[in-house]
């Protein structure tokens, strides 16, 4: 199949991005940096076909675990790296906040709905954004649904918090110390990684 | 060298390469933003603003100007444009229409379930699975187990009604 080159579109789009970055730099260095990083995130997600939906869905649905193993690798790198950044920032008295959120039964319920929904929509939040960029009509509809659902979630949260008790966020190092918290989490992830690799091999034979 | 550039531009990259590059970028976002990468908090802010404009709710918490100056907006915009750029570089940019009308229904309802679920749990696969666990937060692990069970359920529905 003869493929048309899109190099002129590429040139035009690159100039547009460059101008937009310069514009953002006038507003704030932080916004420009964040925008540049998220462009790289979108680029990487697309090029590596990285997909959290596939990581959760495919082991049971089709029996492939390559993406699940990659997601576990991502977590294994991120846990100690986040710890380092948090410690360095604290030592330098710089403000930093990790994602330690309160939880309750609604965390579980939300995860269940989110997990089911992402399989039906063919993309989670990051995957939906990525596929909108790739031009998929299906995920453009899913993004519309995501916006509607986020509003519904926002409006129902007060009622949900009336039904389910909410516990304050638990930062694992606070209850067991840094070294055990990080070691136990890494151990769980490494065992999971080895386990699914073994499981996949046994499925193939 | 030329071959390497070809692979960077055309892809696909191996999954583990993607994992390492994403890990580095995700850490850089944490350093620059002083809080982790997240997606749905910003989508929620836009949805409340939009609903306010449509007269569905009272005063929205944030004004358009605040939303346009919010780093969450540029995180989401950047992912869309970065993925678009990735297809343009490989001369693969095009509109990809629906393969089947029933996928429109499943995309809409799947999207609504995702948006609702993410906002009552305070996060999505990025904010709670990746960065909740990366932050050593118990909520991240609880959410991850639930997402796995949900994906299993979704797979059942997919096989039964859609494929």
Chain A stretch 123-152, residues whose beta carbon is closer than 8 A to a beta carbon of chain B? 124-139, 141-152
Does B154 contact A38 at a Cβ distance shorter than 8 Å? no
Subunit contact B110:A49, Cβ cutoff 8 A: no
B110-128 confidence digits (pLDDT tens): 999 999 999 999 999 999 9
Question: Which whole number is the average pLDDT over B122-143?
Answer: 97
DSSP string, chain B: -HHHHHHHHH-PPPHHHHHHHHHHHHHHHHHHHSS---SHHHHHHHHHHHHHHTTSSSS-SS-HHHHHT-HHHHHHHHHHHHHHHHHHHTT----B--SSTHHHHHHHHHHHHHHHHHHHHT--IIIIIIHHHHTTBHHHHHHHHHHHHHHHHHHHHIIIII-
Per-residue pLDDT of chain A (205 residues; tens, 9 = 90+): 446 789 999 999 999 999 999 999 999 999 999 999 999 999 999 999 999 999 999 998 888 999 999 999 999 999 999 999 999 999 999 999 999 999 999 999 999 999 999 999 999 999 999 999 999 999 999 999 999 999 999 999 999 999 999 999 999 999 999 999 999 999 999 999 999 999 888 877 6
pLDDT value at residue A56: 96
Residue of A nearest to B41 (CA): A150
Do A102 and B122 contact (CB within 8 A), yes or no? yes
Measured between CA atoms, the residue of chain A closest to residue B22 is A41
Distance CA A41, CA A35 (A): 10
Q: State residue A205's pLDDT score.
A: 60
- The DSSP annotation for A57-98 comes to HHHHHT---HHHHHHHHHHHHHHHHHHHHHHHHHHTT-----
**Does the structure show a pLDDT above 80 at B10?**
yes
**Inter-CA distances, A11 with A110, A133, B2, B6, B95, Å:** 42, 17, 19, 17, 19
Mutate to test the interface with B, among A27, A43, A90 (most CBs of B within 10 A): A43
Return the pLDDT at A2. 46
Range B67-81 average pLDDT = 97
Q: What is the predicted pLDDT for the residue at A203? A: 78
Q: Is B98 on the interface with A (CB under 8 A)?
A: yes
- Which of A110, A135, A181 is facing B94, going by the closest CB pair? A135
- The two most distant CA atoms of chain A are separated, in Å, by 61
CA distance A205 to chain B (A): 23
Sign for the pseudo-dihedral over CA of A37, A51, A56, A120: positive
* Nearest CA-CA distance, residue B65 and chain A, Å: 12
Cα distances (Å, whole numbers) of residue B11 to A45, A73, A135, A198, B14: 11, 20, 17, 28, 9
8 Å CB contact of A133 and B87: yes
Letter string b/e over residues A122-156, b meaning 16 or more CB atoms within 10 A of that residue's CB: bbbbbbbbbbbbbbbbbbbbbbebbbbbbbbbbbe
| Coil/strand/helix, residue A112 | helix
* Arithmetic mean of pLDDT, B60-89: 94
Residue A110: burial class (beta carbons within 10 Å; 0-12, 13-18, 19+)? buried
Chain B positions touching A23 (Cβ under 8 A) are none
**Residue A79: which of B69, B36, B163 has the closest Cα?**
B36
Q: Which residue has the tokens 């603003």?
A: B49
| pTM summary value | 0.95
- The ipTM estimated for the assembled molecules is 0.96
Within 21-60 of B, beta carbons closer than 8 Å to A belong to 21-23, 25-40, 43-44, 46-48, 50-51, 56-57
Token reading at B1? 């060298």
CB contact under 8 A, A133 and B83: yes
From chain A, pick out residues whose CB is under 8 angstroms from the CB of B43. 125, 146-147, 150
User: Would you call B88 an interface residue with chain A, using a CB distance cutoff of 8 Å?
Assistant: yes
What's residue A5's pLDDT? Answer: 86
Among B9, B13, B22, B57, the strongest candidate for a mutation testing the A interface, having the largest count of A CBs within 10 A, is B22
| Residues in A 186-205 with any Cβ partner in B closer than 8 A | none
pLDDT of amino acid A29 = 96
Give bridge partners of residue A103 from the DSSP assignment: A167
Is residue B131 within 8 Å of residue B140, measured between CB atoms?
Answer: yes
**CB-based contact A31 B109, cutoff 8 Å:** no
Average pLDDT of chain B, as a whole number = 94
Q: Which residues on chain A are in Cβ contact (under 8 Å) with B133? A: 75, 78-79, 185
């Amino acid at each position: 199949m003869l493929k048309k080159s899109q190099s002129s579109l590429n040139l035009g789009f690159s100039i547009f991005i460059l101008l937009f970055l310069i514009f953002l730099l006038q507003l704030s260095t932080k916004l420009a940096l964040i925008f540049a990083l998220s462009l790289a995130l979108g680029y990487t997600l697309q090029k590596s076909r990285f997909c959290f939906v596939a990581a959760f869905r495919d082991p049971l649905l089709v029996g492939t675990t390559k993406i699940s193993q990659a997601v576990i690798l991502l977590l294994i790198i991120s846990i100690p790296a986040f710890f380092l950044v948090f410690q360095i920032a604290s030592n330098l008295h710089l403000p930093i906040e990790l994602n330690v959120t309160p939880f309750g039964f609604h965390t579980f319920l939300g995860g269940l709905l989110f997990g089911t929904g992402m399989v039906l929509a063919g993309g989670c939040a990051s995957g939906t954004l990525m596929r909108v960029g790739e031009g998929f009509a299906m995920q453009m509809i899913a993004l519309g649904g995501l916006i509607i659902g986020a509003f519904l979630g926002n409006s129902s949260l007060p009622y949900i918090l009336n039904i389910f008790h909410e516990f304050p966020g638990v930062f694992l190092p606070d209850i067991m110390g840094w070294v055990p918290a990080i070691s136990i989490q890494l151990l769980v992830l490494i065992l999971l990684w080895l386990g699914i690799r073994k499981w996949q091999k046994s499925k193939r034979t | 060298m030329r071959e390497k550039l070809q692979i960077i531009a055309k892809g696909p990259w191996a999954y583990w390469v993607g994992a390492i590059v994403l890990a580095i970028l995700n850490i850089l976002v944490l350093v620059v933003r002083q809080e982790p990468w997240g997606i749905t908090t910003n989508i929620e802010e836009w949805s409340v603003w939009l609903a306010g404009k449509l007269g569905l709710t009272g005063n929205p918490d944030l004004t358009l100007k605040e939303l346009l100056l919010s780093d969450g907006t540029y995180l989401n915009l950047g992912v869309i444009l970065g993925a678009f750029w990735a297809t343009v570089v490989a001369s693969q940019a095009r509109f990809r229409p629906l393969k089947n009308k029933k996928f429109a229904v499943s995309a809409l309802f799947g999207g609504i379930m995702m948006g609702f679920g993410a906002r009552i749990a305070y996060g999505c696969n990025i904010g709670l699975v990746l960065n909740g666990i990366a932050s050593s937060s118990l909520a991240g692990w609880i959410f991850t187990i639930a997402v796995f069970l949900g994906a299993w359920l979704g797979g059942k529905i997919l096989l039964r009604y859609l494929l």
